[in-house]
Amino acid sequence: MKSKQISFGGVFLIAFCRLAVKAEPCTSPWQYNSLTDTCYFVSNDTVMNFNEAKFKCSEAGAQLFVKPPGYGYTVFSDMNGIIYCDHGCRYHVGLKKNNSLWYWLDGAYSFGNSAGSCGYLYFKSSGIFHGSDSCKTSRFICQKSSNVFDVLRNIS
């Protein structure tokens, strides 16, 4: 809340005002998820190998999807229509094998003993599954922080 001192013929008033800001948390084509306060981009039309997808996300100030602690893959249930495919689709995410152990790109350990070296999510009408492969071309999911706190920081 901002305040301003105003003088009327020797009488001082202090005026308080509130600034209402309506800002979109994510710019198109990014989709906002209110559970995690995160913006997601899903490449439904573009396919790349793991390293290309990782680079493409970083160009946008983002990273490949990392499963948020406590939410798992349920974050996608809050984003109707963001992922569309008829018979199941595979998406690169930020999960990679290093010395036989699986890690998310944020450094968090993940369980697994799959043969491939890159993790993916597979979306079907029956649910979301995960697996691994040789990092071949696939669709991908990027994530980045929302704009909400940037807007608030700029007006204070």
| Cα 108 to Cα 94: distance, rounded to the nearest angstrom | 11
Residue 71 to residue 86: CA distance in whole angstroms: 25
Beta carbons within 10 angstroms of residue 151's beta carbon: 15
Asked if CATH classification 3.10.100.10 holds for the domain at 43-154, the reply, yes or no, is: yes
Question: Between these two residues, 51 and 78, which has the higher pLDDT value?
Answer: 51
CB 34 within 8 A of CB 78: yes
Does 153 have pLDDT greater than 50? no
Record the pTM: 0.74
Q: What is the band of 13 on the pLDDT scale with cuts at 50, 70, 90? A: very low
Residue 10 has pLDDT above 80, yes or no: no
**CA angle, 40 as apex, 111 and 99 as ends, to 5°?**
25
Question: For residue 41, what pLDDT band results from cuts at 50, 70 and 90?
Answer: very high
CA-CA-CA-CA torsion sign (84, 88, 90, 93): positive
In sequence order, the β-bridge partners of residue 129 are 122
Residue 145's pLDDT is what? 92
Helical residues (DSSP H) of the chain, grouped into ranges: 50-59, 148-155
40 compared with 134, residue with greater pLDDT: 40
> What mean pLDDT is predicted for residues 124-148?
83
* Spans of all domains in the chain: 43-154
Residue ranges with strand state E in the chain: 2-8, 11-17, 31-33, 38-42, 63-64, 89-98, 101-104, 109-110, 118-124, 127-133, 139-145
